[in-house]
Chain A
């Protein structure tokens, strides 16, 4: 069975601070995908990144960066110089790479509030 844990329920930071959102996962699959999604108040899940389990290189996209460590089953997400527009709920998710349905298993989310 797959499981994703986001231990941080809520985080509040002041604008321009850096913030890291933690994600720990469990899976028996040797090949899998990890995702991060952003959910603003409108409800739509906005795709941020997909990472293949074979690729442990860290990735940076503008103010966003991701640290994937297979040894600790973690896929953490850092926002540098946070902005008020970053306020949202962030979800980490896991799916098998092969198989019939490849459903997403989500964590419970982290509510990020960036204060001006």
Chain B
């Protein structure tokens, strides 16, 4: 059973650019969530995808968008990067069935630095 894998592990971008982060779900999982973790803080929920549709969103602007593919992998896109977007971006997959969500498996994250 493979875990959650994220790519790239590290990334440096310039303010105003766009970035795409990728996540492969754990085998058997059908839901993907993305979290932003600023230095010294707890992760903050960005959004969740289930059956290729956004299924919930935290307090993040529209320039944060995502996709989920038929194989349940996912992308996080951030447009018009700002310095405050510098953070560790964590992907978590889970199995949602029958209205219940059975736990979350996290990847190691992508460390994004905006300069």
By a beta-carbon cutoff of 8 Å, the part of chain A in contact with chain B is: 4, 37, 42-47, 50, 91, 93, 95, 97-98, 100-109
Contact of B104 with A109 in the complex, beta carbons under 8 Å: no
At the interface, is chain B mostly helix, strand, loop or mixed? strand
Query: CA–CA, A46 to B105, complex, Å?
Result: 8
Contact of A109 with B41 in the complex, beta carbons under 8 Å: yes
A49 to chain B, nearest CB (A): 10
Chain A CB within 10 A, most for which of B56, B92, B106, B108? B106
Chain A residues within an 8 Å CB radius of B93? none
Contact of A98 with B99 in the complex, beta carbons under 8 Å: yes
Chain A residues within an 8 Å CB radius of B40? 108-109
Chain B residues within an 8 Å CB radius of A42? 108
Chain A residues within an 8 Å CB radius of B57? 101
Indicate the size class of the contact surface on chain B.
20 to 34
Contact of A44 with B45 in the complex, beta carbons under 8 Å: no
**What are 17 A-B contacts defined by CB distance under 8 Å?**
A42-B108, A43-B90, A43-B111, A45-B43, A47-B103, A47-B106, A97-B100, A100-B56, A101-B33, A101-B57, A102-B48, A102-B56, A102-B101, A104-B43, A106-B44, A108-B40, A109-B41
Q: Which of B4-47 contact A (CB under 8 A)?
A: 33, 35, 40-45
B71 within 8 A of A: no
B66 within 8 A of A: no
Chain A residues within an 8 Å CB radius of B109? 43-44
Smallest CB-CB separation from A101: which chain B residue?
Answer: B56
B55 within 8 A of A: yes
At the interface, is chain A mostly helix, strand, loop or mixed? loop
Chain B CB within 10 A, most for which of A37, A45, A91, A95? A45
Known interface pairs A47-B103, A97-B100; A106-B108 also in contact (CB < 8 Å)? no
Chain A residues within an 8 Å CB radius of B42? 4, 91, 93, 106-109
Known interface pairs A97-B100, A98-B99; A103-B108 also in contact (CB < 8 Å)? no
